[in-house]
Amino acid sequence: MIDLKNDDDLKQAVEEMLANSPRTTWISKLTSFLEHVANADLEERSSRAFHDLIWEKNPVSDVGMGTVNVSSALDDTAFRQWIAEESLKALPNDKMELENHLQSFFDELVTRVLVFSKRKPLVKILRIMAGFFPRHFTSIAANAKAIECHRALLGKSSKKGPVKYQLELTERLNEVLGEAGNSPVELATRMTVAWELLDRYVVDKSEAPSVDTVPGDSQLKPLPALQRRKGLTAISGGMATLIGAIAFVSDGVSKEELMTHLRAEFPDYRESSLGTLFNVLKNEFRVIEQEGDLISASNLGTSILDTGEPEDLMPVMLTRILGFDGALKYIQKAGGCSVSKLCEFLKTVNPGWTSNFAPTSLIRWLREFGLVEPVEKGVLQLTERGQQWVEQVYWEPESLPPLVKVEIPESTFTAQGGGFDIGDLALEKLLGLLGKDMSINSVTVQQLHFGLWANERRHFAIMAGLSGSGKTLLARRYAQVVSEYFDGSMEENVFVQAVQPGWYDPTPIFGYINPLASAAYVRPALLDFVLDAAARPDEPFFIILDEMNLSHPEHYFAPVLSAMETGESLRLHNEGDSFDGVPCKIPYPNNLAFIGTVNMDETTHGLSDKVLDRAFTIEFWDIQLDSYPGWGQRSLPAESEQSVKQCLEGLIDALSPVRMHFGWRTVDEVLDYVDIASEASPKFVLSNTLDQVVYSKVLPK
């Protein structure tokens, strides 16, 4: 593997290139051009014909894609005269003075040409400067490619600007190869070395969005529709946000530093939205890159920062983003079209775009990049930039194939349970299976089992009562036993969802369309579980909503409450028949049972009649210490354990009238505390230890 930052490797690579038939035709044309320019006097350099040569017929490199029309500038006598005079000024010998001189020439030329053009013709300007100053410029006139070559030969560095990159590239080659000779052919040959190195050793042609068919003449390489990114994410600030982020990371920052910067720029964004924005910068627009925890500007990002123009993004957009090329072609063929018609067209490009959300986002970027502009209300036409870029689209833009509508079968669930017969699992059998692993109250299990399956569709039970009384444990174990009896499993047929405070709508359960990635649906794991249940109606499925009243169930659970009552379809979203693989609605899965656990304290909400009317409610208040399954499981002496039991019984008797007593979790923790204290403390006194743990675990309530 050749390392062009190594002097010996670089020298060897250049020698091999020059020995193996360099591009003689190109070098011959370039030699003649350099000789012509060097011999031109002030009068010729001021002529329209000479400027047509250096601006439009310059063999340093092809102008490539997205050429800028500068004919108005070339028609201006004063403009041509200024260039002629400046180009003949002697160059300073001092390195710093030389850099300042060339940079001033570049800056002033940009300023003057922008009087006649809205766009910056950077490639043409760099070709002109290479013709005037061949000893200090290479034939790589595309700034992004010059940056890529610069990094390959000198390593990563902070933003320098187009002139500085050229000067450092030629200086690097001079250090290793020696100064180029003075003849036009020697200068022409040296100028092409950087481009040859880039083409042979640096560019990954399998990944590049464009390839050079001849030096500097790039041709786009479109990906098939199925391999393209599905749309563009709309971000606040557009190009200004891209450039601001690139500038912030240009010298290299940590990811956390970048995230802090984005938080300051977008204080209203959630952390998840900021993470999406980071991925947009890195993976969608490719303007930043990450090595470990270090974030810096990519070659593409650095070039955009240099120019402030979106030109270098266009090859990526046209070849990697679904619908970008097609939208420009559609507007071109129509001679302009309304936004609504363009949205409808884009929805045919991606049948998964069933709303205008994703198409509108893409259209915003077309405007942000200066490719289209409104000519009247709601009507768009191509700009000069848009017209020039659409001419690079030599292929017929592709669309995704139509969506194959997958019908989720209607449930065959019956009053006995559905595709499975819940009656096959007798209560005695169920109690036997449950009793293998836990101490249970058979009456409670009977209530849960019959209450859950009594209705042919509405399988919803709520277990309310003491915290730590075994509600969730019973729900999990019951769901596992029933699932396994009908050839299911805990992993596939049971889902435990811890309800969080602040659930004000169904999105935590059924997901939502990502506002920063308009073609993506945020899918909670619970949604996939519900879809799986709907697709497998001959198996029972269980969702356990743990502490379901930390938020109002009538808010987040509303679609389920309505569907289980009416039998109508369960609606997941309103974006057409399907969005990002999620159907808009499914038949209510009659094989799906919900078990909610409820604690009643100051951190929870009461349950409304809407919820209680649909649920079978079981209360867990009666705690029988004799039924506790952990007696005799610890190393405590029997008499000590009996003393603990008597203490706990007394506490339960005293506290239960006001429902301040406790469940198995507290019993576990009291016994564990006493057990470890008896083994670890040489001064263990049972009464003192009990006093400590009761004070810590029981009395705070």
> What is the rounded average pLDDT for all residues in the chain?
84
Specify the higher pLDDT residue, 32 or 522. Answer: 32
**Cα distance between residue 659 and residue 286, in whole Å:** 61
Alpha-carbon separation of residue 274 from 262, 456, 532 (angstroms)? 7, 45, 31
pLDDT in tens, 163-219: 999 999 999 999 999 999 999 999 999 999 998 888 888 876 555 565 555 555 567
Percent of the chain with pLDDT over 90: 34
- Out of 56-60, 175-179, 428-432, which region has the weakest mean confidence (pLDDT)? 428-432
Whether 651 contacts 694, CB under 8 Å: yes
Q: What is the mean pLDDT of residues 113-131?
A: 91
3-state class (DSSP) for residue 74: helix
Is residue 657 predicted with pLDDT exceeding 80?
A: no
3-state secondary structure string across 634-697: CCCCHHHHHHHHHHHHHHHHHHHHHCCCCCHHHHHHHHHHHHHHHHHCCCCCHHHHHHHHHHHH
**Average pLDDT of the residues in 51-74:** 85
Domains of the chain: 7-216 (no CATH), 227-390 (1.10.10.10), 422-620 (3.40.50.300), 625-697 (no CATH)
CA angle (419 as vertex; 416, 424 as ends), nearest 5: 50
Q: What DSSP element (H or E) covers 49?
A: helix 48-56
Nearest-angstrom CA–CA distance, 450 and 429? 14
Q: What pLDDT sits at residue 410?
A: 40
660 pLDDT higher than 80: no
Query: Cα separation of 60 and 33, whole Å?
Result: 8
* pLDDT above 50: residue 416: no
Average pLDDT over residues 77-90: 96
The pLDDT assigned to 43 comes to 96
Distance, in Å, from the CA atom of 259 to the CA atom of 275, rounded to the nearest integer, reads 8
Report residue 412's pLDDT band, with 50, 70 and 90 as the boundaries. Answer: very low
Task: Report the pLDDT value the prediction gives residue 45, as an integer from 0 to 100.
Answer: 96
Distance from C-alpha of 161 to C-alpha of 660, rounded to nearest angstrom:
73
Average confidence (pLDDT) over 104-114: 94
For residue 283, the 8-state DSSP code is I
Q: Is the pLDDT of residue 648 over 70?
A: yes
Across the range 121-131, mean pLDDT stands at: 92
Q: Is the pLDDT of residue 99 over 60?
A: yes
- The pLDDT value recorded for residue 659 is 65
The pLDDT, as a whole number, for residue 413 is 32
* Residues 218/315, Cβ–Cβ less than 8 Å: yes
Contacts of 351 (CB under 8 A, 6+ apart): 400, 401, 402, 403
